[in-house]
Amino acid sequence: MPTRKPRKGSNNSGAKEFEFIVLSGDETGRDPETQRRVRSVAQANYRRQHPYERRQRTVELDVTPLLDGTIQSSSAVPSQVPPRPMTILDASRSDPFQSFGFGGDRRAYRLWDHMYDGTCPKFNTLVQIGFVDLARETIALSQMLSASAWHLVHWLGCESDSGEDAQYSMISTQNLQQRLNSVATGASDEVVIAVLTSAAYANLIKEPRMFQVHMDGLSRILQLKGGEGSLHSPPLRLALFW
């Protein structure tokens, strides 16, 4: 297999070198080394003639602000805080999505309806005591949607896992961090509801360590509020002891 070398004195210093591979003879098809080299050359030519862009298959999430508490408080950046609903809608068919950035998302409606379809005993209890109707008016809404997505995929097994539960949990965590960073909202009823909802989610997915972390945080928040007696909402008190 000789190699053609560029002529001496040629000005074309970047000339390509060509390699000749002998393909004649009956034994050509049985020579694996020759076949490998032929395929390699053919593949290289094809890639050179048909370039393509590499697609980004992963998305990097910076969770550092959630860990070190550097996210700005909601009072400092009011535009980042979703407004509270102005109207209390019907308990069985509430529509909190416009107020919390989920307006027009049919999937979010599907997940919310699943809270009321009777397929999960834990959801049923929270609905019956009025906690779901209370949580829908707070940042806990995202965590409720996360729990619904998890139940559809991992418990009922009627849908494929697309990571929705993690996405909604991240939204809930970010909103909760904003509230905790503010002195005005760090020990509010809304924060109690959000942390309690996160604890219920940990209980649903059977994560005892995560559950204990949320309960420890909830205990600290209640101390700052002045104890359990500071909770004046009957559904919230029922959910706390449920």
Pick the most confident of 4-13, 50-59, 188-197.
Answer: 188-197
pLDDT at 182 over 60: yes
- Residue 18 falls within a domain, yes or no? no
The answer on pLDDT for 45 being more than 80 is no
Q: Report pLDDT for 86.
A: 36
Domain that holds residue 194: 105-241
**DSSP E strands, the chain:** 3-4, 18-19
Q: What was the pLDDT predicted at 19?
A: 59
Q: State the sign of the Cα–Cα–Cα–Cα dihedral 75, 79, 84, 87.
A: positive
Reduced 3-state DSSP string for 105-154 = CHHHHHHHHHCCCCCCHHHHHHHHCCHHHHHCCCCCHHHHHHHHHHHHHH
In a domain, 37, yes or no: no
Mean of pLDDT over the chain = 73
Model confidence at 149: pLDDT above 80:
yes
Decide which of 114 and 39 is more confident.
114
Point out the least confidently predicted range of 2-16, 25-39, 135-149, 176-190.
Answer: 2-16
What pLDDT is attached to residue 67?
Answer: 47
Q: Say yes or no to pLDDT of 126 above 50.
A: yes
| pLDDT bucket at 77, cuts 50 / 70 / 90 | very low
pTM score of the predicted model: 0.58
pLDDT of residue 18: 58
- Confirm whether 221 is domain-assigned: yes
Could you give the CA distance from residue 8 to residue 124 in angstroms, rounded to a whole number?
Answer: 87
- Does residue 67 lie within any of the structural domains? no
Lowest mean pLDDT among 11-15, 84-88, 108-112, 138-142: 84-88
Q: Identify the band that residue 185 occupies on the pLDDT scale cut at 50, 70 and 90.
A: confident
User: Residue 225 falls within a domain, yes or no?
Assistant: yes
Query: Domain for residue 87, yes or no?
Result: no
The residue-averaged pLDDT of 94-121 equals 73
Please give the residue that has the higher pLDDT: either 136 or 3: 136
In this predicted structure, the answer to whether residue 215 has a pLDDT above a threshold of 90 is: yes
| Sole residue written with tokens 């074309």 | 12
Counted domains in the chain: 1
pLDDT-derived band at 60, boundaries 50, 70, 90: very low
Identity at 38, one-letter amino acid code: V
